[in-house]
Copies of this chain bind each other. A is one copy, B any other.
Amino acid sequence: MTGFGDATAVERVEDGRYKADLGGGFAIGEALNGGYLMAVLARAAMDASPHAHPVSTAANFHRVAKAGPAQVVVEPRKEGRTAASALVTLVQDDRPTVDALIVTGTLDAAAEPGYAGDRPTGLPPLDDCTEYLPPNGSRGFADQVDMRFDRTTMGWLDGRPSGRPEVRAWFRLRGGHEPDACSLALAVDALPPVALNLGAQGWAPTVELTWHMRAVPAPGWLALHGTGRLLADGWFDEEVEVWDSAGRLVAQSRQLARVPRA
């Protein structure tokens, strides 16, 4: 068991009820990362399902989750031959913190695509990308995840946002945890908000995030391509595609998030 495996572990209490001990370094500030929370929910959904993979997860983020004990409640909604659906809720301090509709299915690692679109352009080779570490020495999330950024998408750090809602980076978990269903959940919410490149500042809380696992990922680095289409009225969307080292689209997400109104 690696650090990420331990940090996302759930213990079955009874049918449909699990306990978890949240933390493991996946906080950004006080708030636990939303992708980390979705990984915990995926663990419970997979345990409760006859199927192997979380093929679709649609999550509403109600409240900030903090390190410490939590419960996961899995309520089956439909079970079919190729897919099953459940409402999976993260509960902390007796309140629903994240609700997710999770569809589980079993992906064939050997499946050849009938059609595959082109991989997005723009992410430079790994050696031309840059690691950014918090200046105060308290790395938190960066202790768990090794990310190497396309520096042209990180100008917001120096007060020079690019004006384009794009962030690109290489991603892998430290500690030798190779990509799997749960680390894909982390990957789709690991980039800094694309709105930072549009001049937004501060925390951008995710309201809704849907992600789909599309293939079983190969070992190695994952490439994350984040874009957005519209920032208006305090809302913005962010799409992330995750491509594996074998050059396959393994996960895709869209989230709707808030920015402070101007």
- A262 to B234 Cα, complex, angstroms: 45
Question: Given A62-B78, A82-B234, does the pair A115, B254 have CB atoms closer than 8 Å?
Answer: no
A186-221 CB contacts (< 8 Å) to partner B: 198-199, 207-208, 210, 212, 214-215
Which residues of chain B have C-beta atoms less than 8 A from A254's C-beta? Answer: 210, 212, 252, 254
If over half of A's interface residues share one DSSP class (helix, strand or loop), that class is named, otherwise mixed; here it is strand
Number of copies: 2
Question: Given A55-B256, A210-B254, A237-B212, does the pair A115, B231 have CB atoms closer than 8 Å?
Answer: yes
| Binary B-proximity of A91-121 (CB < 8 A = 1, otherwise 0) | 0000010011101010110011111110000
Q: Is A249 in the interface zone, CB < 8 Å from B?
A: yes
The answer to whether B56 touches A208 (Cβ under 8 A) is yes
Instruction: Give how many A residues have a beta carbon under 8 Å from the other chain's beta carbons.
Output: 54
Q: Is A42 in the interface zone, CB < 8 Å from B?
A: no
